[in-house]
Structure 1
Amino acid sequence: MRGSRCLTVATALLTLVALKAYIEWTAEEEERFPTPHGAGWHSSPITPAQPSKEEALVFIPQHFNASMQQLRQSIPRAKAYWNEKQHRIFRVLEGDLEGNASRDECFGSRAADKASKIKDFGSYSELYRNFILYDECRTFPLLINQPTKCISSGKNHTFLLLAIKSLPGNFAARQAVRDTWGQEGAPGGLPIRTVFLLGTAQGRSGPRLQRLVDYESQLFGDILMWDFEDTFFNLTLKDNLFLNWTLEYCRDVSFILKGDDDVFINTPKVLDYLGSLDVQKPLYMGQVMANASPFRIRKSKYYVPESYYVGPYPSYAGGGGYIFSGSLARWLHFVSRHIAFYPIDDVYTGLCFQALGIHPETHPGFQTFDIAEKDREDPCVHRKLLLVHRRSPQQTLQLWKRITDSELRC
């Protein structure tokens, strides 16, 4: 009971300090980039129907106190590396331990100390071991930037930002996206922008692709590349760095669609759906995974050892593709500083949203595990969907041509 009260007080103080700093920062930023639709939104009966900006800014911190408590209670106290690490963060928030509750330092030099905390650390794959040794590292140089991506006619506003995770060598996949559902423009007055999120080429002995990606960026102006090794376990890091970029260069975006470069997105239908929503209501939507647990099969790329994590997963939207409100980017970035990095990126995103008290909304138009074999070539089926995973560049080009054909009758 005492620990619970301490956590409530400590978290309340923390959020009030963060709120004050954020309001001051917002006031400065508004002078540079006026927000066209304001920062106010509501999603709870306890929130006024038309909240003022100040009331809206308090909304998330109010939920944060209770939702962090719920998150703490949902994570088992077990002798597993991640569980112990996260509960240590909670104890720092409580004031029972000294330390920095914000996780923004790199402790890669403490390799021996980290390895000693996992009894079977030597049995982990090299990529897994590297993730653990450097899971505090959250600052990496931005090698290729697009600082004006969201600026149009002197204004910093984008309705839908397509943030597509890609690998340096996936040139054909990126081009297929540009030629189809990732085309930029402003259909119906709703500006769409596209960025591809990349790390550097995987492995010290891999092909040198930097010059090719540089040239691609010069041609199309849609590449964001950071100086970290682009591996599956670093997708959480990629998401975090993208949030940093969004707050710096695209802070007034209405909606963000995060997806892989092998999904097929029915952009017109996505715009129709989002255009019907109240942009002030926070949204986290996709194909929701509920009651999921870690994979314990070593051959699976989603494998999580029991010595690393014990417990169920929160409900989360599948990482193949999901949408969230742009106004939530600042709060996701804030709360991520108090959630230890997890090697499965969509699970980590679900943890962060849970800490904010926001639950994922399921939408039948998201099919991140593909659809029935008999429907995979049917343009009428795809015309009803918002997103399906996965399609080759050739399939993407053919499907786009067919669903956008004005003579198609379904």
Structure 2
Amino acid sequence: MLRIARRSLLRSSISPSPSLIPRRHNSILSFSEDVELFRDVVRRFNTDLVQPNVSAMDAAEQIPASLVSALFDTGLMAVETPEEYGGAGASFTAAVAIVEELAKCDPSVAVLNDVHNTLVNTCVRKWGSDYIKQTYLPQLATSKLGAFALSEPSAGSDAFALKTRARKLPDGDFVLNGGKMWITNGGEAEIFVVFANAEPEIGYRGITAFVVEKDWGVKVVKKEHKLGIRASSTAVLALDDVHVPAKNVLGHYGKGYKIAIECLNEGRIGIAAQMAGIAQGAFDRAVSYVYRDRKQFGKFVGEFQGMQFQIAQVATEIEAARLMLYNAAAIKDAGGEFVTEAAMAKLYASQVAERAASKAIEWMGGVGFTREESVEKFYRDAKIGAIYEGTSNIQLQTIAKLIQKKYAN
């Protein structure tokens, strides 16, 4: 993996960029050489390729194809994929560390990377047949963006109330009909993990997952215009008589619900990483401003005790969010049960992201409220954390159920 990451770094024209956060040795938040290498790659990627384009991407509501290609070229789109399929063969912790670093600069780029890595690649890698892995993992590693197509107008928090149907043909192939909503990467994706019900009469047990190529007839009906993460495409998809070969069933027939649940549990850690990155990005910009640029009554505003207490409080919350994030990732990497920790990390990090971004605007005063600075964008981008991949209420419900199971038996 190090060989691949170093090669990716060398072939990119990315120049060094210092981090505002020094590495901390002998800390729970000190990382392996592999993970630190990826973090360095992303910091340089942000400085050279993302930061100069953040405002333009937000205004255009689009991530340029050239930037998506650069993510592939830099080795950031197949983090856990084994080397034999063109990936880095790295850990889940490395994947979420990349998301966190990207989110410090632009959360839209972070979620594009996150969905591709922690949802699509994971589904194909864990449940794909040899044919599916050999066919699609190399494409997902090098050039083709993936999307996770589960949500529908009536299937959001109630994720398994799917209306999309999969009709089985006599030869074993399937025809998909229906629509999907809120699909991240939907506007640019070429490979989709699609969930459809092949036997609605038996409820969720009929849900089956498929790997579907866009060219087979997946249509982008529209791209949503959003409050935040505007550059990330969120699309409505139409599936009209989309023919899918039997060999493109992911996992086993009727086991799509299990695949969705397991992937979303992992995905929640990725969203926690995105939210932690938003919180840190807003904090870094605003605290630098109050100690270096903004003066009132003859001194920097960061020197006033009222401001210092607020800064200390937010810094503490960000530290706690990151500890929860990487604890959940470590448990997952070790093969342990991480559902509670993932839900807690996602819930808390999304709350901290909103508070940190809101405070950052206040600390910067009028300029923080304008689009001249990035903090108002962090504020808009943070709101989605309480909504996607399970709302905050769904996270609370998950945590509460698991607590009840622990203490009631």
TM > 0.5 fold call? no
Q: TM-score range by the shorter chain?
A: under 0.3
Give the TM-score taking structure 2 as reference length.
0.26
More helix by share: 2
Give the TM-score taking structure 1 as reference length.
0.26
